[in-house]
Amino acid sequence: MTIDKIIVSSADNRYFHLLKELFLSLKKNNVLDDYHLAVLNTGMDKNQINYLKDNNVKIKDAIWNASVPKYKILGRDHLKTQVARAYLPNYFPNYKIYIWLDADIWINDVKSFLLYEMGAAKNCLTITPQSDRAYFNTAKVDWLFNLPVKVKTINYKNIGKSVSKKLAKKYAFYSTLNAGAFAISSNQLIWETLQRNVKLAAKKGRIFGTDQVALALSIHEDKVPTEFLPAYCNWMCEFHFPIYDNKQKKFLEPYIPNNPIALIHLAGLDEIRSDKSILSNIKTLNGNLIKKSLRFDV
């Protein structure tokens, strides 16, 4: 059977332990029966690379695909993938479906995860906005004498510092498009649009957030065809912990209908990402409170 779908992630030696858990979650859920897995290397050591090769994972060294001022890089090779994820067909050509997953993500439910493939198969950029009824506070405003004097949103900050204040104001209160998980077919127009906006966002050298700026401009400004998925397809645990169903052995969204979460995303939870022994207070579906890790458990 020819496999024409690929999942791509990235890691350096510090993030390899998370990447390994992503790999094991894909393997446990039999996703790799239908997908190849590839990794953009930004500084893994020899043993880590050999582990991936022994498990049939494709590896390519990430490069700076867009022009970035050298004084802005300062050896931070892990930031290459802020740009490189817009060039996946260049690194791994001849696939029909490309899914990007950050290393601090793992697969919790396959059925909802496959919505990414469904959207990409419609020739749409498929992504999960960083908004949900459970994400209570995703924007902040400083007030002075009942007047807003400073807007604090991710779009306003990132677009304003990397592109322009005009566009920052335009999209200040649009939902952040989380670049940790997205899917695109081999549609050349979408990739070229994303690449053009990555180059624009990276021009001033503000690399972190380049990917999210490029996605926002490609979708909202350039109107590439898009499928927006519900929050349970890429659950941001830093905004609200999921609940757990002991019967299904899965994490669920915290409010009814308690859909199974596709991707557990640990962005922003630095202590949990670095220490697997940390247990969190997690509510169960029947209302009990348990101590449980948010990390993938084989």
112-148 pLDDT, tens per residue? 999 999 999 999 999 999 999 999 877 777 887 877 7
How does DSSP assign 260-297, residue by residue? BPSEEE-TT-HHHHH-TT--EEEEBTTS-EEEE-SS--
Topology adopted by domain 5-127+177-211+223-231: Spore Coat Polysaccharide Biosynthesis Protein SpsA; Chain A (3.90.550)
For residue 150, is pLDDT > 80?
no
Which DSSP state fits 260? B
- Residue for token pair 């990555």: 198
Higher local confidence (pLDDT), 245 or 142: 245
DSSP 162: H
Region 96-123: mean pLDDT is 98
What global pTM score does this model have?
0.93
What is the per-residue pLDDT for 214? 93
Report pLDDT digits (tens) over 35-62.
Answer: 999 999 999 999 999 999 999 999 999 9
Least Cα distance to 81 among 130, 19, 12, 16 occurs for 12
166 SS3 class: helix
- Residues linked to residue 236 through DSSP beta bridges, in sequence order: 265
pLDDT at 2: 87
Strands 140-144 and 147-152: antiparallel
Higher pLDDT, 269 or 171: 269
Q: How many CA atoms lie within 13 A of 32 on its CB side?
A: 16
- pLDDT one-digit tens code per residue, 9-26: 999 999 999 999 999 999
**Which sequence spans correspond to the domains of the chain?**
5-127+177-211+223-231, 140-170, 233-292
